[in-house]
Amino acid sequence: MKMKLLGIILLVSFPFVLGFAGIPIEEGENSVEVGEVERSCINVGDFCDGKKDDCQCCRDNAFCSCSVIFGYKTNCRCEVGTTATSYGICMAKHKCGRQTTCTKPCLSKRCKKNHG
């Protein structure tokens, strides 16, 4: 009796296990396979590839920032540069092929005096 009950439990739970394991289950002719859509750029806060350039990050002043542990880049994410670095990052992104609008930061005393 125990073996019969075990067989029924396994038979009922098998589709659930396959679903959680990520194995696609085809159900007839109209089964749809969902694929990952490739994005042209990565949003701020999302993971990026530390081996690629900063063009992978969407915003004009965003760059791929990584933690370095024992010489290896890990936990790379797209981050926004500081006021001091944003303009340089934006200017470097002109090579990415996207239209970038870079506004020079107001850092000097003279600039701050004139622009509030």
Asked if residue 74 belongs to a domain, the reply is yes
Higher model confidence: residue 79 or residue 35? 79
Asked if residue 103 belongs to a domain, the reply is no
* 20: pLDDT strictly greater than 50: no
Asked if residue 41 belongs to a domain, the reply is no
Asked if residue 16 belongs to a domain, the reply is no
Q: How many CA atoms lie within 13 A of 10 on its CB side?
A: 6
Looking at the structure of the chain, the number of domains it has is 1
How would residue 9 be classed by pLDDT, with cut points 50, 70 and 90? low
Tens-digit pLDDT profile for residues 59-101:
999 999 999 999 999 999 999 989 888 889 988 888 888 777 8
What is the domain range of residue 77? 46-96
Asked if residue 75 belongs to a domain, the reply is yes
What residue spans of the chain are helical by DSSP H?
A: 2-21, 86-92, 109-115
Predicted pLDDT of residue 116: 56
- Let me know: does 102 contact 60? Beta carbons within 8 Å: yes
Count the neighbouring beta carbons within 10 Å of the beta carbon of residue 38.
5
- Residues 61 and 85: their CA atoms lie apart, in Å, by 8
